[in-house]
Structure 1
Amino acid sequence: MNTLDATPASSASVLDYFKLHFIVLIWGFTAILGKWLTIPAVETVLYRTLIAAVVLAFVIKKKDWKLPKKIIIQLFFTGMIVGAHWITFFAAAKVANVSICLVGLSTASLWTAFIEPIFNKQKIKPYEVGLGLVIILGLYVVLKSDLENDMILGLVLGIISAILAALFSTINGKFTHLAEPNTITVLEMSGAAIGIILFLPFYSAYFTGGEGIDMVLKNNELYFPDGHWFVELINTIPYLNTDIIMIFLLAIICTVYTYSVSIELLRRISVFVTNLTINLEPIYGIVLAAIFFNEHEKMDSSFYLGAAIVLFSVLSYPIFNYMNRRMKKKK
């Protein structure tokens, strides 16, 4: 096949869903790594995409590079959409706060409910639209204590980031049948890196407060409440640059592994279900922050209520999908 005409097969196993939740958990861990890094977010993403692309370029089999030029170009530009998604995500957090950014991003499921059927030439499913709206409500309840007024620009940027996420996820749902996941990842990470490099002059002028771009990786003593053997070990090793360790963990584990696996899972799990599940990332992130940094203040009654709403949306999708198929058979 050399055209975007394939749709995901509906043959996901329990292990596939476990893998999906596992990679979402890892993405939740990126906030922990980010807290230990000393360089800003956009520079971090540039390192992340460049290293991921270079590492994968060395491990991909020669036969997996044999793709039509049209597909290679499409994958490269899809990577630029990924880069734009990350840029608008971090810009939303910069001009507003992380919570408003995440509320905006939570609309990705809603946009996917419209974009995926359009790409696949299918009817829009009302229950997917409904679950997308419920997800937004759930994350609003989780994050409402951190929301502030007059943050419209941040919310708009978060929503743009969500639309871009829905778009590149839907496109990847097509590409996953045309190329190997690692090949897709290396081409898209290359496109994302180039896109971010092109954005750097604008970023330096308007988003750094006049301080310019900071690409210097530093040695920073890691913080962990009450100590931890791994962190204590890293802190005692001389000439060890902690930024380099965190960047490589971010690039290899949180990007190469998770992105490739997520693309491979799109062969069996729909884009909507994938983006619906990804909404658990901030919840996993809050739990991990409580474990790693003793930040238990966010785990109040609103957190548990909102988390329950999000979990209800994720877990109820198979039921709604089953009922929808039954109704079609009766017709």
Structure 2
Amino acid sequence: MDNPASIHPNRNLLILHFTVFIWGFTGILGALISINAVQLVWYRVLIASLTLLAYFTFSKTSLRISKKQFFQFFFTGSIVAIHWILFFYAIKVSTVSVTLVCLSSFTLFTAILEPLIKKKSILIPDVIIGLIIILGIYMIFKFESGYTLGIILGLLSALASSLFSTINSTLVQKSDPKIIGFYEMAGAFFWISLYRLCDQSLLSESFNLSFKDWSYLLLLGTICTALAYVAGVSVMRTLSAFRVALITNLEPVYGIILAFIFFGTKETMSVGFYLGATLIIGAVFLYPIYKKRKNLS
């Protein structure tokens, strides 16, 4: 009997595009929600964890893992938390466009971190792509100096994202990605709660948010986090790694377009910014193409 997933490759392609579009939309929600970055991510991972728990309960999926796996996932969740907090903090102090372009440097950090963590040699073409991204970042720094803090936070967010993604690429070889995602989000919730207990902000948490903030948070935690994660993982099993990487790189493009629609002139940048952004996004698009040709040769 044919695999249903293989019968509808175009449907899976549309689902992946929609998933990446949703990821691009998270930046918009981050700018629209009025609470601070730490509080925002705390609510996000709480809602996402509960949503995934409901999904696993409904689908009768076992959450049983070994003690070693539990600690691996839980501690990786702390890096996920740092990534999201830095991401939303960068949006709060700069713009969605600046943050998303800086997040594209994820490719640069991965090209450096993955060989170090997995003890492989760094490839020369990876270095060249990295230098192009660095040039793009330099141009953004030069022409958008008013957003220096946002740029630095966006780059640190990309570094954290690259770190936990590289760790996950190893963990996923032995565990279900959805199970990993659930425990990492639960871990992120635990570590942020611990931090909020230390600074005593959690003790005064009243859950008394505006209707608008609650609406955006529920959308962020359910559709943009839990549902997008499950959908993204399901189609990645039927589409090639090359196609997935290429489409995933559309996230900053979708996000920047959405930012213009929602925020208009606030998202208008200098010519230097767009030149730098073109270099970064162009290099990011070239990366999977180079990887595919390298594997074919």
**Which TM bucket (shorter chain)?**
0.7 to 0.9
The whole-number CA distance in structure 2 between the counterparts of 1:129 and 1:277 is 22
Match of 2:184 in 1: 188
State the alpha-carbon separation in 1 of the partners of residues 15 and 140 from structure 2: 25
Residue 88 to residue 308, structure 1, CA distance change in 2 (3 Å): closer
Amino acid at match of 1:131: I
The structure showing larger relative contact order (alpha-carbon pairs under 8 Å, at least 6 residues apart) is 2
1:74-93 pair list within 5 angstroms: 74-91=72-89
**Distance 1:173-1:41 versus aligned 2 partners, 3 A rule:** same
SS in 2 for 1:177: coil
Contact 1:181-1:264 at 8 Å conserved across structures: no
Letter in 1 for 2:256: I
Offset of residue 19 of structure 1: 5.2
**Alpha-carbon RMSD:** 3.7
Shift of 1:263: 4.9
1:67 aligns with 2:65: yes
Counterpart check, 1:245 vs 2:215: yes
Number of the residue aligned with 1:218: 209
Residue correspondence of structure 1 range 46-195 to structure 2 within 5 A: 46-60=42-56, 61-91=59-89, 97-98=94-95, 105-138=103-136, 141=139, 145-148=143-146, 151=148, 157-195=153-191
> Mean Cα displacement is larger for which, 68-77 or 253-262?
253-262
From 279, 284, 288, the equivalent of 2:254 is 284
Letter in 2 for 1:111: F
Alignment map for 1:218-237 (pairs within 5 Å): 218-219=209-210
In the alignment, residue 25 of structure 1 is paired with which amino acid? Answer: F
Change (3 A) 1:197 1:115: same
TM-score (norm 1): 0.69
Tell me the TM-score normalised to structure 2 length.
0.76
Q: As a proportion of its length, which structure holds more helix? A: 2
Where does structure 1 lack aligned partners over 5 or more consecutive residues? 1-12, 206-211, 220-240
Secondary structure of the 2:41 match is helix
Work out the percentage of aligned pairs sharing the same amino acid: 40
Match of 1:315 in 2: 285
| Equivalent in the alignment of 1:222 | none
The amino acid that maps onto 1:321 is K
CA shift, 1:201, in A, is: 4.7
Deviations 1:28-68 (Å, cap 9, x if unpaired)? 21232233323222211111101110111122144431322
Residues 121, 304 of structure 1: alpha-carbon distance in 2 compared, 3 angstrom cutoff: same
Amino acid across the alignment from 2:115 = P
Q: Any idea what SS the aligned residue of 2:162 has?
A: helix
- d(CA) in 2 for partners of 1:114 and 1:248? 36
Cα distance in 1 for residues equivalent to 2:218 and 2:43: 9
Taking the TM superposition and a 5 Å limit, the aligned residue runs for 1:11-50 are: 21-50=17-46
What are the ranges of 5 or more consecutive residues in structure 2 without an aligned counterpart? 1-8
Q: How many residues align?
A: 283
Q: Is the 8 A contact 1:28 1:282 kept in 2?
A: yes
